[in-house]
Amino acid sequence: MIQVKVKCFSQVKYVLGKDEMSLTLEPGTTSAELEELVRNQAQGKLDEVTLRIAVNQKYIPKEIELKNGDEVAFIPPVQGG
């Protein structure tokens, strides 16, 4: 099994009610599979929210296999400025 840390911001934090989660996953779990798991936890409340994924503080352009110790953030539309 692998452990990953999920960071929650903005709508993700609001819907899930937490800043971060530590999750234990099957080896070989991908970023897209983790996104599905997070969306399922949100029970539909993130269905309309586009999420970009950052792994270890870098946007990833496509689905990747997660590794033990990864920090994963699901980034809702940003609002700086």
Partner 1 sequence: MIKIEIVKGPITPFPSDDSRTQDGAELVFNGRVRATEHGENITVLEYEQYEGMAETELRNLAENTVKRFPVHDLFCKHRVGKVKVGETSLHVVIWSKHRQEGIDAMSWFIVELKKRIPIWKWATLKDGSRIPSECAH
Decide: 74 and 38 in contact? Cβ < 8 Å.
yes
Considering the complex, what minimum distance in angstroms separates the CB of residue 1 from partner 1? 26
Q: Rounded to whole angstroms, how far apart are CA atoms 25 and 66? A: 9
Selected from 2, 5, 10, 30, the binder of partner 1 by CB under 8 A is 10
Decide: 23 and 31 in contact? Cβ < 8 Å.
no
User: Residue 62 carries which DSSP code?
Assistant: S
> What is the pattern of x (binds partner 1, CB under 8 A) and - over residues 36-75?
------------------x--xxx-------------x-x
**Does residue 9 interact with partner 1 by CB under 8 A?**
yes
